[in-house]
Copies of this chain bind each other. A is one copy, B any other.
Amino acid sequence: MLQLTRDGEYAVRAVLHLAAHEDRVSLIHEISEAQDVPKSYLSKIMQSLTRAGIVKSRRGAKGGFFLARPAGSITLRETIEAVEGPIHLNVCLIKKGECPKDEGCPVHPVWREAQKKLFEVLEGKTMQDLVRDAEAIQKRNSRKLAQAR
């Protein structure tokens, strides 16, 4: 459907949560509540993120999740692909031979271009950027609220 799945959306929310609380570990339960993601489902998402090397986990008491690397080095694209697999806007971009025409198809370069542009946007934002953006939005909203009084 040319649309991000829940997997990708939930992964972004989870990593963003960890990025906003980089100083400590976060529990599945906590992330689930704060980010509005079903707990048992989130558990699967976190497993993928761990395997992808984006987050790390510690089991047992005092355990939980935390970023494996600085938030400034984790992009949206990386986070999404960790749970959804590599993004290919059209099957013809997966590899040679997926399209009958393949070379010789005039639409192929258009999809390549579209995907490149998409990647530029998704790679242009790190989790650190997004945490800062969220803070800015927060500040703007509370100022608005103060004015309304």
Binding site for B on A (CB under 8 A): 1-5, 8-9, 12, 16, 36, 76, 80, 84, 87-92, 100, 104-107, 109-111, 113-114, 117-118, 120-122, 125, 130-131, 133-134, 137-138, 141
Query: How far, in Å, is A86 (CB) from chain B's closest CB?
Result: 10
Given contacts A106-B130, A107-B130, A110-B122, contact A89 B137 (CB under 8 A): no
Point out the residues of chain B lying under 8 angstroms from A80, CB to CB.
2
CA distance A107 to B16 in the complex (A): 10
Query: A121's contact among B2, B113, B130, B133, by CB below 8 Å, is which?
Result: B113
Query: How far, in Å, is A132 (CB) from chain B's closest CB?
Result: 8
